[in-house]
């Protein structure tokens, strides 16, 4: 699947498969970009999790991080968190 749309909690998301993946996971994982109206998120998942007729989009979105973010890096103290949608 190159592109897929899904709706969750009243929001529409476009899913794009990124061409990059961690070098040690090339054979087993893919990286997905989840694009919403006001944000872009990224998640890595196993290929067998994605290559099904109905991927678990809610689980993928729950595991995703904001594009450009890292789970191990926090915001500097002078940067306020983004308001919830």
Flag whether 84 is in a domain.
no
Flag whether 71 is in a domain.
no
User: Tokens 């009243």 identify what position?
Assistant: 10
Question: pLDDT band at residue 82, thresholds of 50, 70 and 90?
Answer: low
Torsion of CA 74, 75, 76, 79, to 10 degrees: -170
Flag whether 78 is in a domain.
no
Specify the number of domains making up the chain: 1
Flag whether 77 is in a domain.
no
Flag whether 80 is in a domain.
no
* CA distances to 59, 70, 72 from 46, in Å: 13, 19, 21
Flag whether 50 is in a domain.
yes
Structural domain range at position 12: 3-66
Higher-confidence residue of 24 and 81: namely 24
* CA distances to 29, 44, 48, 64, 76 from 59, in Å: 16, 12, 14, 9, 28
- For 16-62, write each residue's pLDDT tens digit: 888 877 777 778 888 888 888 888 898 889 989 988 988 898 999 99
Query: Which pTM value belongs to this model?
Result: 0.69
């Amino acid at each position: 699947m190159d592109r897929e749309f899904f709706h969750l909690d009243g929001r529409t998301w476009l899913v794009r498969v990124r061409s990059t993946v961690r070098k040690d996971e090339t054979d087993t994982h893919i990286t997905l970009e989840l694009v919403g109206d006001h944000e872009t998120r990224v998640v890595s998942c196993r290929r067998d999790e994605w290559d099904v007729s109905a991927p678990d989009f809610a689980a993928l979105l729950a595991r995703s991080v904001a594009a450009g973010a890292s789970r191990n890096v926090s915001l500097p103290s002078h940067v306020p968190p983004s308001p919830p949608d």
